[in-house]
Structure 1
Amino acid sequence: MPARADALQEHAERLAALFTVAGFPRMASRVLMTLMMSTDAALTAVELKERLGISAAAVSGAVKYLERLGMVRRRAHRGSRKELYELPEAAWYTASLRQPPFYAEIAALLPDGILAAQQAEAAGPLARLVEMQEFFEFMRTRMPGLYEEWVATRAAEVAEREG
């Protein structure tokens, strides 16, 4: 790998390490950041395997995880039977902002826990579960607006640079 490519991969590894510390799965972090640093934001499984020095199974597991989050998608690789893994057209963080079902799923699950805490007369867990429900409901309702705000901000920045 040329020196510039090595530097990009080193940067990808540093970013992936931060994502891992924040709780993102290690291999998914490494695959995501490697795609971020690739020229076309797309690589085959073999390319990911070679760049990261990991097994095909590790690539597959990481890609499946990222696909579920909407951060990576598969497409056919022209002229080949291989699949290409790529970042979505909108950047990965935009994809995550557009998909708030995670927050809705958590918020939907919490009433059962709240009821159980009430029935057990467990004040500590009850207070934490109520706060958690309020937080995730807040996030679920705010994420679409944050996405729209990001799109408008980004469009204005691009127009300013090009204008």
Structure 2
Amino acid sequence: MRDEEAARQSAERMALMLTDWGFPRMPARVLMTVMTADEDLLTAADIGDRLGVSPAAVSGAVRYLIQLGMLGREPLPGSRRDAFRLPQNAWYEITALKGGLFKILADMSDEAVRALGEESGGGRRMATMRDYFIFVEGEFPKLLERWREHKADNGLD
């Protein structure tokens, strides 16, 4: 049996954690509200009601999440309103999109190494950062493939 208050508090704690990690606050709250909903589709009004904010306050957060691939928009039949849903592989999709970030960070770190000199203290630290992101970028596709296999093996689709 669902405990609405406990579910709301859990979603708010998760949103706060995402905010602490740099995710904008309202998109984090909207994302966790949709994640914890039993329904597959929620309107901006539904989300706003659950968060105690206006649908207009939800609007910018929804746009942000759609741009990241974390929410999808669907028109409601017979209405001018839209509803929002999580893509089937939302976490996988956002992680895959952000994968290019590792290459950018490796390249920028390498640029800093060249500017600082690899033998300087700062150059050594930046070289370690570069090498880490090169490693992560190389491992990332294997990790995603392992996730797909894990999902298939465990019926998680």
TM tier, smaller: 0.7 to 0.9
- Among 120, 123, 131, the residue aligned to 1:134: 131
Q: Which residue of 2 aligns with 1:158?
A: 155
Report the counterpart of residue 147 of structure 1 in structure 2. Answer: 144
TM-superposed CA distance for 1:52, in Å, is 1.2
| Superposed structure 1 runs of 4+ greater than 6 Å apart | none
Task: Tell me the matched-pair count.
Answer: 154
Partner in structure 2 of residue 28 of structure 1 = 27
In 1, distance between residues paired with 2:22 and 2:137? 20
Gaps of 5+ in 1: none
SS of 1:158's partner is coil
Cα displacement (A) at 1:156: 1.2
Q: Would you say the 8 A contact 2:26–2:58 is kept in 1?
A: yes
Counterpart Cα distance in 1 of 2:55 and 2:119: 47
Residue 50 of structure 2 is matched in structure 1 by 51
> Is 1:72 aligned to residue 110 of structure 2?
no
Q: Superposition RMSD on alpha carbons, in Å?
A: 2.6
User: TM-score w.r.t. structure 2 length?
Assistant: 0.80
**Identity of counterpart residues, as a percentage?**
36
* Cα offset, 1:87, TM superposition: 0.9
TM-score by length of 1: 0.77
Structure 1: distance between partners of 2:67 and 2:136:
19
Question: In structure 1, what is the Cα distance between the partners aligned to 2:109 and 2:102?
Answer: 11
SS of equivalent to 2:78: coil
